[in-house]
Amino acid sequence: MSSPNALRWNGRPGHYEVYYLTLTDAVTGTGFWIRYTLLAPDDGAPSCALWFLAMDPAQGVTARKATFPIAQLTSADDPFRFQVGSGTLTDGTADGELEDATWSLRWSPGRRYEHVRPALRPLATTVLCLPHGDVGVDGQIRYAGRTVDLAGARGAQAHLWGSKHASSWAWARCGDFRTPNAELAADTFVDGVSVRVKRFGIALGPFTPVVGRIDDDDFASTSGRRVLTNRSSFAPDRWRFEALGDGRKLIVDVEADRRLLAGVTYHDPDGQPAYCYNTEAATMRLGVYERADDRSEWRPAATLEGQGRAHFEYGQHEPLPGLELHLR
């Protein structure tokens, strides 16, 4: 396939697929989560959907979604173009209109990152990759009577597909870090996911692949060994994990403001719902450690923070008491 964004669906039932853009405006602190999706259930007609969500620290959560017959979906691989209703995604643009929300966004194509290595994909019920792992997004978003002009807002465009969501999971990313002196940490981002799954009635995990870039040096903790041994502990509004790879160790803490968690409902192809709580205005603290070789001690190399600039998601197959479901 010429593009990591190329559609994986072969027209058969038992499949879901998602393209999303995630970003935070540094001026207003508002985070945005825009999704283009398809669902081919085990039983029934396939459909597609367009999602728009905003998390404004001053105004709270705005959530919009529209579902369409699969005839409203068109896709091309070379060059990549994916359209659902009025929403269009390419390898450098995202446009759409949904109720009172409109967006016209663009970015220069970024580097590709893969959380699930090809050798491990037969074992995964969901595969996540980043066709554009860390980019600066320009353009304009209008919603709920507001207008946000974006100039280099840090974000990413992701593509995932599979047959079943995990039993529970956490995901987070940040590409807008500051040093203790409030200086921008250029060319640095982290994107990780941690999942618990059930196989033959047995709970397994967490499995925790992490990718990123540290001072323009790519980082990957995605081998079978690392995915199994990376430490991870997550809850609906926080996640702490460690990831080893490429001569570095990352220790990451993520905290989410519960007021800014957008609750949404996913549906697996088998009809089971999954409940996701997402914010694009979380905080990530990143400790970077380095060592000369496997026998050396880890030494701190950097301490960074993305205050209100991180993206976080928690999911499971039961709704969480006390947290609103904005999209059911």
pLDDT digit string (tens) for 217-250?
999 999 999 999 999 999 999 999 999 998 999 9
Q: In the chain, what's the furthest Cα-to-Cα distance?
A: 58
CATH topology of domain 15-327: AttH-like fold (2.40.370)
User: Which residues, in sequence order, are CB contacts of 1 under 8 Å at separation 6+?
Assistant: 77
CA 55 – CA 284 distance, rounded (Å): 16
What pTM was estimated for this model as a whole?
A: 0.97
Q: What is the pLDDT of residues 40-85, one digit of tens each?
A: 999 999 999 999 999 999 999 999 999 999 999 999 999 999 999 9
- Tell me, what DSSP letter sits at residue 297? P
State whether residue 293 is helix, strand or coil: coil
